[in-house]
Chain A
Amino acid sequence: MSIRHSNTHFHRTRASAYAAAVFALLVAISVAGLANAADDAPVSTNDNVAPPVQFLNDVVPLLTRLHCNSGGCHGKATGQNGFRLSLLGFEPDFDYAALVSEARGRRLFPADPDQSLLLTKATGVVPHGGGRRLNIDSDDYRVLREWIAAGAPAPRPDDPHLVRLELKPKRGQLQPKSQQQLRVTAHFSDGTNRDVTQQSVYLSNVPEIADVDRGGLITTQPRVGLFAVMVRFGDQLGAYYGAVPRAEASLGNTVGNAAALSNIDRHLLAGWNRLGIEPSPPADDAAFIRRASLDICATLPTADEVTAYLNDTRANKRKRLIDRLLDRPEYATYFALKWADILQNRGRGYSTRKQRPGTTLFSAWIRDSIAANKPYDQFAAEILTATGSQQQNPPAIWYRSVRTQQDYVESVAQAFLGVRIQCAQCHHHPAEFWSQADYYGLAAVFSRVGRKGGFTDAEVPTNETIYLKQEGEVRHPRTGKVLQPRPLGGPDFDLSPYDDPRQAFARWMTAPDNRFFARTMANRLWGHFMGRGIIHPIDDARSTNPPSNPELLDELAREFVKSRYDIKHLIRLITTSSAYGLSSVPNETNKDDLQNFARFYPRRLSAEVLLDGISQVLEVPTQFSGGPGVFPPGTRAIGLPDENVPMNFLDVFGRPARTSACECERSDAPALAQALELVNSTEIQKKLTAKDGTVARLAASKKAPAEIVREIFLSTLARPPSPEEKATAVEFVNSESDRSEAYRSLLWSLLATNEFLLNH
């Protein structure tokens, strides 16, 4: 494995000894890839037995496979042309009634099965909005016909039911432009099994890497990467995990001493070896101090900080920098902003004046918790189990904007468990095992949350008292059965009437062996620093959306639990990893890869960070107003308590409305409106023309233009200018009669560069 050390675009300082050492080791060390040969042993089937066609195990899966019960057709809540099935067949009893009893029995006609509307529609003999789904001479047709001819027998309680799916192979390493046939075996409760490869439904999560056809045949594309194929039969799911390495790569054939690497780096290297991807070289020191300062403290390094860092010759200077940054108050402010998004500390409502004290208190509590490095399990539990007055117990303010059964379930699942369970409100989750029992069982955890007092004449009442009611139950929307509080996946909590179910839930969630809690936070923070989660999107964990590097995620989660949920420890692990220190400049092998972190993925500074950065460079803080009075001078955008502070700049650059626990609400997509804001907003022009800002200071300075230009480059781009850049800038300043205007234009032009707008 060879590494090309291409030169970066601007002049580099020497790579630190630390990074170089790690890097050299990475290059030298071998880790076996995912080389488990595909297991192609034949699947046992009971070919000689021809059991009667069963509704549950034969007919319903066909309705799924033929897309009859899909969300676009008869499976949607309103059905299609008066014929409604349960989505993806998750409610067979409902489907049976729909087929047998509705429409005056015209859908099935046992006396002359071929005249059944089910078959004549599906074959297109009778006009069908969904077109022809079925051929008369197909096996699928015969199955349906046989069932109708037998009198359309109903499912019986003692019918064998589907227990699990067996997939062969389960994982594998495939060459680009090659094929792999999946075999699916259904195992039933009576011990029988049969091959259902042709009756299953398949879906690839990255068709650009590998696609799959109706018969379970995977075809890989020229593109390199990891993929998963979801397999569905009946109410069971399975997933095949595949890797498509570079065809020309020799994988994992180098040798060396793995013991010298951190576990994190070992897993990263394994990921790269798995696909034949080579990492980019380490980022230079100037890039690293800017990157780490922005990611940890949302703050640009000052010119002095950059100079000192570039001159620092100590071996562990990256680690020392990270430690310094984690001790700064901006770290807590920045991560409080992030958590205030996730915890929906929303300011919009009937009266900003009434809302603001609550949002301020909650925001301050989050900030204090992060500054104190409060263990994450304690942080989460204090929020979920909060009771009492919101004025006296700030974590109870979470219950301000999280108010309904739906809010409780979806916010908790997404924020703390990394799961999007929304689908299961109305039906079985189509791509995971979550059922309505999971959704409403979790809802039952919160069913006794009571509220009293407070200012209620508002969209979002404020200043309430949260307490545990004597009663409060949740019923399954379909069966009407009262559901006991239970965590995702069950079983029910063992509770007495005197117990607060939320306490039981918090204990379950924060237990060391919980498979969601620590992993979600590890993945969330990895996503924060690396620009992309190991599971991506970060809050959509599913067996059908697997982590790109499971061992890496497990390692981070394990370390996090072991450290007793020490958030700073987790951040140190991530930011001292080799991946975080890599250059963003791609090489041939990693330029298309977004799964393995073999280079730094650049991203635009978020709205608040960008505005604060501009304020810092121009030495003119933004004056925020809104609600009762104005914010104290020097308030940073990242320090605002809620989103209800008018500022067009923040809105066009993607400040979220805090209406859900999804970090995806924050957008970094470019838009014309952003460019217009940069080019000619009053806000930026005001900062450029302020009497006591950078421009005024530089215009009055006695320093030589060359020196000033150097300072400007350090303060904006965290690096000295190249000789050409310096010459251009000095020449421009000298050519302008108005020194203030000269520095205004120079500063503006640097603030508008991609180099400034991006963390790279």
Chain B
Amino acid sequence: MLRVFGSQYQNCDGLSRRNFLELGAPLLGLGLADVLALRAAGANTKQPNEKPRGGKSLIVFWTHGGMSQQDTYDMKPDAPAEYRGMYQAIDTTVPGIVLGERFAQQAKVMKHISLVRSVHHENGIHAPSAHWMQTGHFGPTLARNAAKFPSFGSVIARTNGAHGEHMPPYVTIPKSEAFGYQGAVYLGKAYNPFEVNADPNAKNFKVANLAPPSGLTLKSVESRRRLLKKFDTLRRDIDSSGLIEGLDTFKAQALEMVSGERVREAFNLSAEPDKLRDRYGRHQYGQSALLARRLVEAGSSCVTINTGYWDHHNDIEKGLETHLPPLDVAMAALIEDLDQRGMLDDVVVYCAGEFGRTPLMNGHAGRDHWSNCFTTMLAGGGLKGGQIVGASEKFGGGVRERQVMPLDLLATIYQAMGISLDTYYIDSTGRPTNIVSPGQPIHELL
């Protein structure tokens, strides 16, 4: 196995990060487990922007709450009405593949899109399922309980860093999912997502704090940075909780982000032509997708777009009518745009949620939680397009063939991004934990 040891990165004070973490001393407010976790993480910590790296990126459309597969990606046109739902199946540009009629835009770029129709895990509750799908592991059973494993976004941030200077490696738009399972856990706080905290479709969309206040010149920022380096000499070994390490990392990054044009420009949506902005759709999903493209272009490695709440137990048609058309437009425009820019092979596009929804409609014209068999979408990143992996049973329900578990999906994404599947990190108990084991990449797509 490849052991990801920390590089002997020299910190501002000349003391190597590894050294002072080994000297370590813990801090209040954190349990011992947290301290160990953070320390374990710190022992392998690299600056996220230590050096620019090449590498692929990931853009995620996260359908928090669970999108219905049977109204979108896994139509059952021949099933009885109570299974079939309200939408017609439509042909796509790939013969033999049909989609729900609200995915008409994606149907046009189907040759880039592959669907995994046999995703399965064994929990039907939002929080543990969201944890399972985003970390690969069954998780806490209450939404308020802390995550046990790092999210795939944080794993990518840690292994690949940002491939553009000063960019945050991992960004969530508009912010992270409410359960708290898009974070870094034992990988270290520096690999938590950077939350945009604003709606990219808002008229005055602006990321607080990226614009330096008036009167502050670059020269002054440089002086301040130099002086800080001289005076920031408080012993690091009074804390091994990750607090001081986190402060150091973020101060360095913040100075870079503010003094460089690069990061601010990456967030500047108004630099895009109106026509292209229209094509992505003048709604939160569309402008988020466009922002995601700008961010990966500038060097972020993972951008997760959290797309509202899909928990349609009642009147699913009403809910889907709100969500599906903008999602469809945004995803199709993104795939097309990436393709036209020659970026599609370098960016994986992934659409998933914690689970799908019951094949049989319930008494409230809705669909309930369903993790036995549902669909996720993958495109780009050099993965084969126009493929269908696995199949559900006749009317939905169980997996008919080729069961795919959450860790298999993560393995596929990591493999496509060039992340070694042998990579492991030390978890909170000091145990080496492989990032995908026992998951296997979906060879049909590679």
Contact = CB atoms under 8 A, between A and B. Distances in A.
Contacts of A674: 250
A670 B25 contact: no
Nearest to B222: A745
Given A209-B32, A749-B227, A760-B238, A679 B258 contact: yes
Interface stretch (B77-85, B210-218, B328-336, B433-441): B210-218
Given A585-B237, A603-B29, A671 B215 contact: no
Interface in A584-614: 584-586, 590-594, 599, 601-604
Contacts of A675: 247, 250-251, 253-255
Contacts of A527: 28
Given A593-B26, A749-B228, A679 B238 contact: no
Contacts of B247: 604, 670, 675, 754, 757
Contacts of A9: 233-235
Nearest to B369: A78
A271 to B, nearest CB: 16
Interface string A424-446: 00000000000000000000000
Interface stretch (A341-349, A393-401, A680-688): A680-688
A648 B210 CA distance: 13
A677 B209 contact: yes
A752 B230 CA distance: 12
A240 to B, nearest CB: 18
A591 B27 CA distance: 10
Contacts of A746: 227
Given A592-B25, A675-B253, A754-B247, A680 B212 contact: yes
A672 B254 contact: yes
A207 interface: yes
A676 B23 contact: no
Interface in B32-63: 32-33, 35-36
A758 B26 contact: no
Given A129-B122, A225-B32, A754-B244, A591 B251 contact: no
A676 B376 CA distance: 36
A208 interface: yes
B24 interface: yes
A680 B213 contact: yes
B276 to A, nearest CB: 29
B429 interface: yes
A486 B40 CA distance: 47
Interface in B298-345: none
A493 interface: no
A574 B183 CA distance: 37
B251 A679 contact: yes
A689 B212 CA distance: 14
A591 B212 CA distance: 40
A581 B265 CA distance: 49
A680 B430 CA distance: 38
Interface residues of B, number: 67
Contacts of B228: 748-749, 752-753
Contacts of B253: 672, 675
Contacts of B93: none
B238 A749 contact: no
Contact of B27 (A531, A682, A748): A531
Contacts of A209: 32
Most chain A CB neighbours (cut-off 10 Å) among B32, B138, B246: B32
Contact of B35 (A207, A594, A745, A750): A594
A589 to B, nearest CB: 11
Given A585-B238, A682-B213, A741-B220, A594 B32 contact: yes
A590 B138 CA distance: 36
A355 B33 CA distance: 41
A455 interface: no
Interface residues of A, number: 68
A468 to B, nearest CB: 34
B209 A673 contact: yes
A558 interface: no
B419 interface: no
A591 B23 contact: yes
A208 B431 CA distance: 11
Contacts of A24: none
Contact of A671 (B31, B123, B214, B250): B250
Nearest to A713: B231
A678 interface: yes
B223 interface: yes
Contacts of B269: none
A746 B224 CA distance: 7
B208 interface: yes
B199 interface: no
A592 B430 CA distance: 14
A152 to B, nearest CB: 29
B216 A745 contact: no
Contacts of B31: 536
Contacts of A677: 209
A734 interface: no
B28 A754 contact: no
B240 A591 contact: yes
Contacts of A246: none
Contact of A755 (B35, B234, B249, B251): B234
A145 interface: no
Contacts of B238: 584-586, 602, 760
Interface string A719-760: 000000100110010001000010011101110111101101
B189 interface: yes
A263 to B, nearest CB: 24
B196 to A, nearest CB: 11
Contacts of B230: 725, 728, 749
B243 interface: yes
A584 B33 CA distance: 21
A668 B243 contact: yes
B161 interface: no
B248 interface: yes
B227 A732 contact: yes
A78 B124 CA distance: 10
B29 A585 contact: no
B257 interface: yes
A758 B234 contact: yes
Given A208-B33, A532-B28, A753-B231, A680 B243 contact: no
B8 interface: no
B36 A208 contact: yes
A229 B389 CA distance: 47
A591 B246 contact: no
Contacts of A590: 25
A745 B213 CA distance: 15
B419 to A, nearest CB: 23
B198 interface: no
A76 interface: yes
A753 B13 CA distance: 12
A685 B25 contact: no
Interface string A153-185: 000000000000000000000000000000000
B154 to A, nearest CB: 14
Nearest to A592: B26
Contact of A685 (B36, B216, B227, B249): B216
B192 interface: yes
A569 to B, nearest CB: 24
A671 B35 CA distance: 17
A696 B253 CA distance: 30
B29 A207 contact: no
Given A591-B240, A669-B189, A671-B192, 17 more contacts: A225-B32, A585-B25, A586-B23, A591-B23, A602-B27, A648-B208, A669-B243, A670-B189, A676-B210, A679-B258, A680-B212, A728-B230, A749-B230, A754-B247, A755-B234, A758-B243, A758-B244
- The 7 A-B pairs at the shortest CB distance, nearest first, are namely A531-B28, A670-B246, A749-B227, A675-B254, A675-B250, A586-B25, A676-B209
12 contacts: A208-B429, A532-B28, A584-B25, A594-B27, A602-B239, A602-B243, A676-B257, A681-B213, A741-B223, A749-B227, A754-B247, A754-B248
